[in-house]
Every structure is written in C-alpha cells, then in structure tokens.
Amino acid sequence: MSCSDQTGLDAELLAFGRQSGPTVRAVHDQFHGDLLEVSMGPQHPSTHGVFRMVATLDGEQIVKLKPVFGYLHRNHEKIAENTTYLGSMPYTDRLDYLCSMTTNWAYALAVEKLSGQAVPDRAQYLRIIMGELTRLVNHSCLVGFLFNDLGTSFTPLLYAFREREKILDLFESLSGSRMMCNYQRFGGCRVDPSPAWLAAARALVDNFPRFLDEYERMLTGNEIMLARTQGVGRLDPAHAVNAGLTGPVLRASGVDYDIRKVDGYGFYPRFDFRVPLGAHGDTYDRYMMRILEMRESVKILQQAFKDLPAGPIMDPKAKIRGFRPKPGEAYGRIEGPKGELGFYLISDGSPNPYRYRVRPPSLINLTLLEEMCLGHTIADSVVILGSIDIVLGEVDR
Amino acid sequence: METIEQIRDRLVARFPAARVELVTNPGPAAEHSLLLDAAHAHDLAVFLRDDPALRLDYCSNVTGVDWPDKEITDVTKTTVPDPAGGQPKIVEQKTTRLQPGCLEVVYHLYSMALKHGPVIIRLRTANRSDQVTLPSLTPVWRACDFQEREVYDLYGIVFSRHPDLRRILMWDEFKDHPMRKDYVEPDDYEWEPTAHGAVAEKHKAHLPPPAATPEAKP
Amino acid sequence: MLGTGILKGLLVTAKNFTGSYHDPKRMVTVEYPEQKTVLPENYRNFPFLVSESADDPMGTLRCVACQICEKECPPQCIIIEKSKDKKPDAAGKQQFYPAIFSIDTSVCMSCQICVEVCPFDSIKMDKVFEIAATDRFQDLLLTRDRLAKSNSYYHQIHPEEAAEVDGRLAAERKIAEEKAKAAAAAKAAAAKPAASVNPASAPAAPAPKTPPPAA
C-alpha cells in the first residue's frame, strides 16, 4: 500500500471513529509505566458466554480493546447447506438460544419471501404474540444480567427470572420445549394454542406491568447504579448508523429505526405502539430502553390478544416434505429483541439451500465495543458489554 | 425509492468508466441487484452512501457466496441433408465448456435517514484460485468490518484496504476456508460409535484391517 | 436525600423477604426429586415408537419402516433397517416392519420433525428425561426394545393427542373398510349377470387384425 493510500484510508476511517491497524494510543514514558494486556475470557462469568476481550490497560483504564470470538463456531451455515429448509428450523432455535421464537420467525419470513408463500391471519397474530413474549423474555434476561454484572449478585437477576420462568412455562405448554421451541413453519405456526393457554397468557401479560413497576422501584433510582451507568459507554449516533448497529443499542443513541415500523412485516402496522428513543446513548439509556420496550410490548400483546381471529394456523397449500422453492434469492429481516436479525437465502431449486446466511445482530453490535470502552475502567467494560446484549450462539453461529 | 434500473442509470451516468450490470432475481422475491466492477466499487459505494436521494448509510449484511467451476454441456442440433436424397437427418452435437467459477460478495444496503431499501450490490472475483482480491467497503460503512473479516475467513476473499484483515471465527493458524463448496473437512474427529451412512463410511478407513480368516479346506 | 433510591430498593426486597414467610405463592422452589413438577401435556423429550398392544410391544409396532423419519431427521440420529418379510398391521394389511430401529439420544435434539413427517402416527414424543446413563455410547443408543411402548402408555402421557390420533385412525380405517365393501359388492354385482348368460356362448373372439402393408 502506498503512503498516500494509507493516509487516505486513515482519513476515511477516522471520519467514523476508527483507527487503522492495531495501534495503541497510550504513551510509554516514565509516568505511565508499562501497559498490561489482559485477556478477559473466554471462560468468565461476566462475558455472557465464551467471549474473549483482549484489553490493554494503563492501570485500570482501557487503552485498547479487541474482542475475540469464534469459540462457539459450529458453522451453522454449512450445516444448513446440507440440510433441507425444514431441517434447519430446529438449528435456528440454537442460534440465539434465548429468543428462539423470533429467530424461527425471521427464518420462516425469509423462506416465505423466497417461495412466495402466504400466511393466514391467525398465524400472523400468533407470531406477533410469540415474538413480543420473546421480547419480554430477552429483555428480562438482559436487565437481570446487567445488574449481575454491576455486582448486585443474584437478587435482581432472580426477580427478572421469576417472570421469565412464567413465560417459559407458557412456551413449554404450547410448543413442548421451554427454549428450543421450533414453533414457526413456512406458511404459519405449528401448534394452535388452546383457549386455556390464551387465558393464562393474557393473565400473565396483564400482570407484567406490576413486575416492571416493582423492578423499577427497586433499581432504577438506585444511586450506585446511576453512578455506574450514566455517562458510561457513550455511543455517537452517526458512528452507530455507519457501524450497522441496530436494535435498542441504536435507539438508545437517538436514531429512530425500528424495523417493525420501517418494514411493517407481519401485521405490525395494525398495532398501536411507540418506539422509545434515548437521548445520551450511554449504558443507562440502553437499560431504560429495555424497560420501556417491555412496556410497549405489553401494549402490543394486549391488543393482539383482543384481536386474535379464529381460523387456520397454517396455509393448507404449504408443504412440509418435499419443499423445493424456485431458484432465486431473498433477504428476510425482523426486529429481533437484540437488533436486526436477517436471513439471506439463495435457492437453486433443490431441497437444500444453496447459500444460507444469518445476519447476526449480536456480532455487528460488537463492532463499536472498543470505541465505547476506551477511557473507561475494566469494570465498566463488563457493564458496557452487558448492555449491548450479546448471545454467543448468534455471534459465532 | 427509485427502481434498481434508475439507480443503475444514474451510477453509469455519474461514473462512465464503471461497469454496472443488473442481475435479475428469478424467484418470487424479485430482489434484483447490481453487479459492480471491483476497480470502481469504492467510489460507487461512496456515491450510494452520500447521494441525497438515496442516503444508503446503513450496510445491513455482507455475504460471501462460492460459485464453483461448472461444466456446461451445450447440445446443438443441426439438420444435415441426406446425400442419398432421402429425409434430412438431425445430428446432435454435444460440446462441453467450463464456465469458470468465482467468489462473490453481496452487500445489502438500507437507509436509516430516509427509511428505504434494500439496494443490493454484488462484487465478483475473477476466479477462485489466485485472483481473489476485492476492494473493501469498510472505509465506507464500518458495518462491513467484522463481516468482511468473516468472508475472508470462511471464503478466502482478500479485501484490500481493510484496516484489520485477519481471521475472525477460526483460529489464526487455520489454513483452509471452510465455507467453500470444495472444502474437505479434516479426518480427525472423534469416533462416533453410532455412526451410520456417510460418517460410517469415513470411519471404516480408521478401523484395523479384518483378521485373515483361514480358508476352508475341501 | 442521597440514598433514597437504595432505601426504596431495600424496602422492596424486605417486603419480598418477609412475604415469603407467609405467602405460599412466593415460595417457588420445588424440592426435586422428592417433589416433581407436573409436566404439561405438550412437553416433549425423546421419541418413542407406538405399538398397538401392551402385551406384545415389539410385535405390534405401527411403524412400517418407510424411513421417512430417517431422511428428514436433521442430525441424522435415526437408524432403520427394513425387514425382509411382512407382517399384518392393525388393519390386517401386510406391511414391512423395522428389523432395526435405533435412536441415538446423544445426537437427537428433540426437534419433533420425525413426528411431524410420519405418515403412520407410529413415532411420538415421550416425556421421560431421567435416562442418564453411565456408559457414554451404548446406553444412550435407544434400540427398538427400549423405544417400543404401547398405545395405552401414549394415552397416559399425551391424552388429548392420543385420543385425536386414535379417532383419526379409526375414521380412516372405517373409510377404507367401506371402500373395500363397496368394491366387493360391485365385483359381486358384475359377476352375477355374467353367470346368468349361457356359459357356452363365450364372448366373441376379437376380429382378426388387418395384415400390415407389405414393406
């Protein structure tokens, strides 16, 4: 690379906050002493899975941070090339293992786009119900684990998990499994919930705001939490857009982009809900985003239970066996609880996909981890990582 | 948003030297894409990002695709008049040609400012063996950073002007590129005693040869 | 005053803590294995094969070894070998049966696709999860004798589903029986007028074909 090309590259990268190459910003002089390179992970209770952060520390301050992952890489995309379209559905449960219903939905959406498959009305409403329940599950996990990372041991975690367990019990009585639901199919849903299930789900959803109120009373005003999360891990909105961040992390920085409103997939345009936006882009805003999104999800769920129509849950012309979509390609995306979850499929007319790609929100949300952590202490990096919400099954696939 | 043909026309008008082709998508999704040539891809991408009508500031997805060499058989039927004066005969001629393969990168672009999309662009390498360099679009969209590293890791496309191109999912000393269609996995996995089908066939190579049975004497 | 947030939080935890002493809803611990949670009806763990009678589970399997579940299983954990002979099934029709049917539970991911694609309702999901083994390989490979369980067991674990399957199979058998009866009646009706006609006058031989033109 010529010298002028390098400076041109540096200038372009600097426009969006990134330096070229693995350079270290700190100064080696007699006042700063040696820099310490610490590998946080891959076995670590706070890194949300097998995730490694190679942090270079000046005392306790982070001067460089490189995320390293791939420890959970199972090459899911290659397995999918050797499996039928339906056979990949249970594997998608295991990508983002906390949100299996929404991952199934994104894959089913992509395949339905690829093959032009229609979905009946009741199935669309059921998908929204399951999707929003999954959002409640995921955000409960996140706020619980965030407080775990802050050091409050297990009390807030178990308060959040108490509600999560109720939703997982609902999933178990509907689809047979708490987390690996394998519920969506191409053309609808697999199981029709009974009236008893719907009544239990409605009761849970109506009770959910009381749990949120109790949780907020317990924690949101907590001075220690405010001191440790406000102003920590600021994310610039222009950098966030350019780095492809999506989901609550992006909206906490003030960028109004929610795929439920932009694409209007499923029957989301029929529902009345707001999209919360943050003002500062720090960890506290990312935490509050999850609480506010849970409240909006409750609103969506209440509307969905009220308007749920009767009818078939699966298109009668949909095929379970011998499914061969016409050659072509499609990219189907949804607003998952972590961000934009997309599936890009290329079909060549055979029962197996030619190319199957998962667009993982957790991986792309990690792009700016270094920028968010620079200048903070190593204890803050744990909190910032917790607020980004990663699941290693999705990062590594 | 403009149609993909209008975008193509504007790109060609703005960069006359660039080659921009429309790749149609035959399936029901009808997501057509633009094939850009590697030399001008960076400038075209900056134009797509900064143009006020498009403002495609969000690169959502970067995918690598492997198109291996394909042997295509062309059958040509020619009518040959019968020298004896009877019915003309139809002679079939089969010629095989090798359609060279390539590696491809597909970018899905959306706009967060104007809330439209997707605009899909593709870049193709010249072949699969030695000319596998493509310009990196990371200086344009930082979102491509990790995803182009993944395409380099799993497909072997080398992105020039990428700030930090190294393996991301496999370990650094790994040699091959796992997502290629001709990838052969190393034969070093643990024996699975309930193996059947293809795995059992592969495992037979590791078993000790059967003991020689004494021949039955008449 | 600084610290009100922390105090409010401590009040919430104190309320929950004291409440757990007199409100049974707050005690959510199930003391396993002395107490066991009631599993919902739809709960699934590993598959099992349904056989018609409890007295002879191995001999009255519904499975006809069509091998569809083997092909559709995503992790390829089902091993089937078709038998060479045929046995009558519950409706009396001669069917193949599986000489070998094994499921490797160390590979099975309980996705339930085998149940969805089976055209004969012969493989269903079991609910047993306490099958820990000490041998890593052989004990986790469930062979046909451990998989074959009776229809009455299926009614025990999935009552609604089993009732629906039984109803559907009975309806299909009734339709098949009525079709067979109608076909037999039609054949009998067609044979009767032929018998009343003089058996000596056999139907006329077909007219001789015109010879092909001389080449």
Q: What CATH code is carried by the domain that includes residue A197?
A: 1.10.645.10
Residue A88: its chain C contacts at CB < 8 A?
Answer: 74
Pairing of strands B70-80, C94-95: unpaired
In a domain, A385, yes or no: no
Across the interface, which of C5, C28, C111 has its CB nearest the CB of A223? C5
Nearest CA among B51, B23, B61, B82 for reference residue B141? B61
Q: Which own/partner pairs from C3-7 qualify as long-range (CB within 8 Å, at least 24 positions apart)?
A: C3/A223, C4/A221, C5/A220, C5/A221, C5/A222, C5/A223, C5/A225, C5/A226, C6/A222, C6/A223, C6/A224
What is the tally of structural domains in chain A?
2
Domain match, A25 and A139 both: no
Residue C155, H or E segment:
helix C151-157
Query: Does B55 map to a domain?
Result: yes
Chain C: touching chains (3 or more CB pairs < 8 Å): A, B
Contacting A residues, span 225-244, partner chain C, CB-CB under 8 Å: 225-226
In this structure, is residue A379 part of a structural domain?
no
**Do the domain assignments include residue A377?**
no
Contact C67/B at CB under 8 A: no
Q: What is the pLDDT along chain A (397 residues), one digit of tens a residue?
A: 344 456 666 666 666 655 444 444 445 556 656 788 888 878 888 888 899 999 988 888 888 898 998 999 999 999 999 999 999 999 999 999 999 999 999 999 999 999 988 999 999 999 999 999 999 999 999 999 999 988 888 889 999 998 999 999 999 999 989 999 999 999 999 999 999 999 999 999 999 999 999 988 888 888 888 999 998 989 999 999 999 999 999 999 999 999 999 988 989 999 999 999 999 989 999 999 999 999 999 999 999 999 999 999 998 888 888 889 999 999 999 999 999 999 999 999 899 999 999 999 999 999 999 889 988 998 899 999 999 989 999 999 8
Q: Structurally, how many domains does chain B consist of?
A: 1
Within-domain flag for B80: no
Phi-psi region of A322 (alpha: psi -120 to 50; beta: other; left: phi over 0): left
What domain range includes position B182?
4-67+102-204
Could you tell me if A275 lies within 8 Å of chain B, comparing CB atoms?
Answer: no
B179 SS3 class: coil
Cβ-based neighbours of A388, under 8 Å, separated by 6 or more: A249, A286, A362, A365, A366, A369, A372
Residue A224 domain flag: yes
Which positions 185-204 of B are in contact with C (Cβ < 8 Å)? 192-194, 196-197
Cross-chain residue pair B194–C137, CB shorter than 8 Å: yes
Give the distance from residue C137's alpha carbon to the nearest chain B alpha carbon, in angstroms.
7
Tell me, yes or no, whether A392 lies in a domain: no
Chain C partners of B197 at a C-beta cutoff of 8 Å? Answer: 76
- Residues A110 and A223 both lie in one domain: yes
Q: Rounded distance, CA A272 to CA B32, Å?
A: 33
Out of A255, A357, A363, name the one closest to residue B112 (CB).
A255
Amino acid occupying residue A262: V
Contact C111/A182, CB-based, under 8 Å? yes
**B194 Cα to chain C: minimum distance (Å):** 7
Long-range interactions of C125-134: CB distance < 8 A, separation 24+: C125/A176, C125/C44, C125/C45, C125/C46, C125/C47, C125/C48, C125/C158, C126/C44, C126/C45, C126/C46, C126/C47, C126/C48, C126/C157, C127/C39, C127/C43, C127/C44, C127/C45, C127/C157, C128/C45, C128/C46, C129/C45, C131/C46, C131/C105
Who among A21, A329, A357 is closest to B29 (CB)?
A329
Question: Are A183 and A218 found together in one domain?
Answer: yes
- Residue B75 bridge partners (DSSP): B94
Which pairing describes strands C148-150 and C47-51: parallel, antiparallel, or unpaired? parallel
Domains of chain C: 47-166 (3.30.70.3270)
**Using one digit for the tens of pLDDT, what is the confidence trace for B52-108?**
988 999 999 999 999 998 888 888 887 777 777 677 777 788 888 888 888 999 999
Of C5, C40, C68, the CB nearest to A172: C40
Q: Which A positions 112-131 lie with beta carbon below 8 A of chain B?
A: 113-116
Q: What is the pLDDT of residue B30?
A: 83
Indicate whether A193 and A308 sit together in one domain.
yes
Burial of A377 (0-12, 13-18, 19+ CB in 10 A): middle
- Domain of residue A345 covers 76-359
Residue A115 and residue A238 share a domain: yes
For residue A213, give both structure tokens.
Answer: 């109120």
- The Cα–Cα gap between A242 and A256 comes to 14
- Answer yes or no: do A257 and B120 touch at CB < 8 A: no
Residue contact A12–B60, C-beta within 8 A: no
pLDDT by residue for chain C (215 residues), tens only, comes to: 778 888 888 888 888 888 888 887 777 778 888 988 888 888 999 999 998 888 887 888 888 889 999 889 998 889 898 888 888 777 778 888 888 898 988 889 999 999 999 998 899 999 988 888 887 777 888 888 888 888 888 998 998 888 888 898 888 888 888 888 888 888 888 877 666 655 554 444 444 444 444 43
| CB-based contact A336:A394 (threshold 8 Å) | no
Count B/C contacts: CB-CB distance under 8 Å: 15
Contact criterion met (CB < 8 Å) for C109 and A90 = yes
CB contact under 8 A, C138 and B197: no
Q: Is C63 helix (H, G, I), strand (E, B) or coil?
A: coil
Boundary of a domain, candidates A28, A50, A68: A68
Residue ranges of chain B whose pLDDT lies below 50: 216-218
To the nearest whole angstrom, how far is the Cα of A274 from the nearest Cα of chain C? Answer: 28
User: Is the same domain home to A46 and A151?
Assistant: no
Say whether both A204 and A108 belong to one domain.
yes
Identify whether A393 is part of a domain. Answer: no
Name the closest residue on chain B to residue A109, using Cα atoms.
B29
- Both A283 and A191 in one domain: the answer is yes
Contacts (Cβ under 8 Å, ≥6 apart) of C16: A159, C26
CATH number, domain of B117, equals: 3.30.460.80
3 state SS of C205: coil
A102 and A247 share one domain? yes
- Identify whether residues A58 and A91 lie together within a single domain: no
SS3 B105: strand
Compute φ and ψ for A59, nearest 5 degrees: 75, -110
Classify residue A114: in a domain, yes or no.
yes
- Pick from C5, C8, C42: which is nearest to A175 by CB? C42
Asked if C138 is an interface residue toward chain B (Cβ–Cβ < 8 A), one would say: yes
Residues A22 and A164 in one domain: no
Task: Let me know whether A56 and A80 are in one domain.
Answer: no
The verdict on residue A92 lying in a domain is yes
Q: Which residues of B touch A21 (CB under 8 A)?
A: 163-164
SS (H, E, C) B123-157: EECCCCCCCCEEECCCCCCCCHHHHHHHHHHHHCC
The three-state secondary structure class of B45 is helix
